[in-house]
Amino acid sequence: MLGSLKPRPATAPQQADEAVGRLRRPQLIGRSLDGAAPDGVFMMTLDLDESVAQAMETDVRLLPLLPELLTDLWELGPSAEQVVAALESVGVEPDSTVLDLACGKGAVAVALAEQLGVRVEGIDAFQPFLQAARALATERGVSHRCRFEQGDIRNLLGQEEQYDVALLLSVGPVLGDYEQTIAGLRRLVRAGGYIVIEDGFLADGVAHLPLAEEYAGHSETLRRLTACGDVVAQEVICPTEQARSVNQRNTDLIRQRASLVRASHPAFEQLIDEYVARQERETQILGTDVLCAIWVLRRA
């Protein structure tokens, strides 16, 4: 679960946007003003930069190096196999339409297209991840079932189209708190369709965590998720040992890659070290104080 251990804001998405707009932003190295991609570094609007950096738990100045730091990881959120199994268990049919919001490198989208025969539209803000997602779909022979487009998921909530399934996996509070997030996702899903969320909740006996102030215990999390009347059709709680070993392996891969990236970009040394340290801290609490779960909600 890279990227979702963070406080959920109390503001609505639009208000959050405005708040972000008032922030003084760091200069981004290697960026041109016209959206071109010098040296393979992709340009995005600053608001999207902030959103991506927040979801990826990194400093916005490190974004140009993020693709390199994450070279060895396909899954930036939950296990694709677990999401496939969860949707299979509720009977999602071939040719169902799936919207994968903030799809990252497309690991889940491609696995769903491959194994369940669904049609997936993946939206993400970060162009290098989208390029990786398209390449993965082609490699797996499902590019005709997958479409990956760049976009800001905060702008999708008002659209008319309704999908059979919407996924929001390991994205954190980009769309607001749980109530705001679910209310927004419900507009994108037909009645009887599914909303799939992957996130964390506090383990029994853990009342408060500095890195995850807004996480709640299990029953309160379920209350928030179902506040609009939807039903939990499936819940997959990632087993503690599995969560620990997956996160440990991912952190090891990031740390190894970071030493190469640091050598070729010495000016970023401190930012890279902070990023790795944050991943390591997260690994310590995931699976113990914070448990990860995939919730499949049937939309009322």
Ligand X SMILES: C[S@@+](CC[C@H](N)C(=O)[O-])C[C@H]1O[C@@H](n2cnc3c(N)ncnc32)[C@H](O)[C@@H]1O
Residues that bind ligand X (CB under 6 A): 2-3, 48, 51-52, 55-56, 75-78, 102-104, 107-108, 123-126, 129, 152-154, 169-171, 174
Q: Which residue of this chain has its Cβ atom nearest to ligand X in the complex?
A: 77
Q: From its phi and psi, is residue 162 left (phi > 0), alpha (psi between -120 and 50) or beta?
A: beta
Beta carbon of residue 263, minimum distance to ligand X (angstroms, whole number): 26
The sign of the dihedral angle between the CA atoms of 121, 126, 130, 133 is negative
Nearer to ligand X, 76 or 188 (CB): 76
CB of 56 to ligand X, least distance (A): 6
In angstroms, the CA 173 to CA 29 distance is 27
Instruction: Tell me if 225 sits within 8 A of 200, measured CB to CB.
Output: no
- Minimum Å gap between C-beta 76 and ligand X is 4
- Helix, strand, coil percentages, rounded to 5, for the chain: 45, 20, 35
Does residue 57 come out as left (phi exceeding 0), alpha (psi in the -120 to 50 range) or beta? left
Q: Which is nearer to ligand X, 140 or 217 (CB)?
A: 140
Tell me if residue 129 falls in helix, strand or coil. Answer: helix
Closer Cβ to ligand X, 219 or 292, answer by number: 292
* Minimum distance from residue 57 beta carbon to ligand X (Å): 8
Q: From the CB of 207, what's the least distance to ligand X, in Å? A: 26
- Whether residue 4 contacts residue 211, with contact meaning beta carbons closer than 8 Å, is answered with no
Our CB check for ligand X shows the closer of 161 and 220 to be: 161
Question: Between 100 and 164, whose beta carbon lies closer to ligand X?
Answer: 100
102 touches 173 (CB < 8 A): no
